[in-house]
Amino acid sequence: MSSTRPKLVIGDVNERNVLVSDNGLVALIDCDSYQIQNGTQIYPCEVGVAFYTPPELQGQPFHGITRTTNHDLFGLAVLIFHLLFMGKHPFAVRFLGQGEMPLERSIREYRFPYGKEALIQQVQPPLHSLPLEVLSPQLASFFERAFAQGSHIFGSRPSAADWFNGLKSFISTLRPCSNDRGHLIPSHRTTCPWHDLMKQGGPNLFVSVSFSRIITTSSFNLAIIWARIEKVPRPQKTYSRPALPQGKSPLPWPQNLTSVFPLKPIKPTILTNPPAPPPPKLPPQKYAKTVLPVEPKQKS
């Protein structure tokens, strides 16, 4: 047994192996698939999820591969992207080229749709997605380092400590939105990114947060809330016939068009006078039937 401390690599990084409690306690499960290195002895991790596997390992069998910390940092960056971009995968794309672009291929070819090379790689983010510029420049550069070409080089992807410090700094710059108490705005933005998303047809992703904050405050007043609901304009149910432009007059009713229409629908002719069915087509008889005459009995 070596006296040095064993080196641990998770290897199979995915969202199902991380549990978070209501008070923020994080627990890792499924620990029997970790890679452990003790001196020269390596106990490999031979399983993985393709959506969290880095480009340099996509499509390769996990058997016989020695995982590195840099491989783990790709999966960590994917998990953080999920949290910041409302569950979207960083390599889910709208492909502008020919054919399909499945997620595994997008990862393997480094087609990060939020990055600087997105248009060159013919990809765009999915509809109703936040742009990368919503984050602080530091966090945006972290995602570029984690997902761009060359990120497979050891030490290129941001470490867990980098993410911790960057996220902590970013959270300290958030300010509440004056129009929606469920929205927070980064300090480097002049407008609310969530309202910008709604103007493009996206949903209000934090409507439940807004209601819960209103209800839990002491200033909650049902009459005020109901008055706000009543101010929502109702749909127009009456139809107003558009006025004719000046100098225009309606054309007279055509003479060859009847002005009296039947109140009841006319049954189709095929129902009132159905056609006779065609005679059956029987196969030809193999042998013709003939009637033989009955010979009279001979008298003895």
Rounded to whole angstroms, the Cα distance separating 99 from 109 reads 15
pTM summary value: 0.68
Instruction: Quickly list DSSP for 243-260.
Output: PPPTT--PPPPPTTS-S-
SS3 category, 142 = helix
Per-residue confidence (pLDDT) for residue 70, from 0 to 100: 94
What stretch(es) of the chain map to CATH 1.10.510.10? 7-172
From the list 12, 30, 72, 162, the catalytic residue is 12
Q: For the domain with range 7-172, which CATH number is right: 3.40.640.10, 3.40.50.300, 1.20.210.10, 1.10.510.10?
A: 1.10.510.10
Please check whether residue 91 is in contact with residue 106, taking contact to mean a CB–CB distance below 8 angstroms: yes
Examine the residue annotation and report whether 12 is marked as an active-site residue of this protein. yes
Per-residue confidence (pLDDT) for residue 220, from 0 to 100: 67
φ, ψ of residue 176 to 5 degrees: the values are: -70, 150
Per-residue pLDDT 10s for the chain (300 aa) are 455 788 899 999 999 988 989 888 989 988 888 999 998 899 999 999 999 999 999 999 998 899 999 999 999 999 999 999 999 999 999 999 999 999 999 999 999 999 999 999 999 999 999 999 999 999 999 999 999 999 998 889 999 999 999 999 999 999 999 888 889 999 999 999 999 999 988 888 887 776 665 555 556 677 888 888 888 888 777 777 777 777 777 778 777 776 666 666 777 777 778 888 888 777 766 666 666 777 766 665
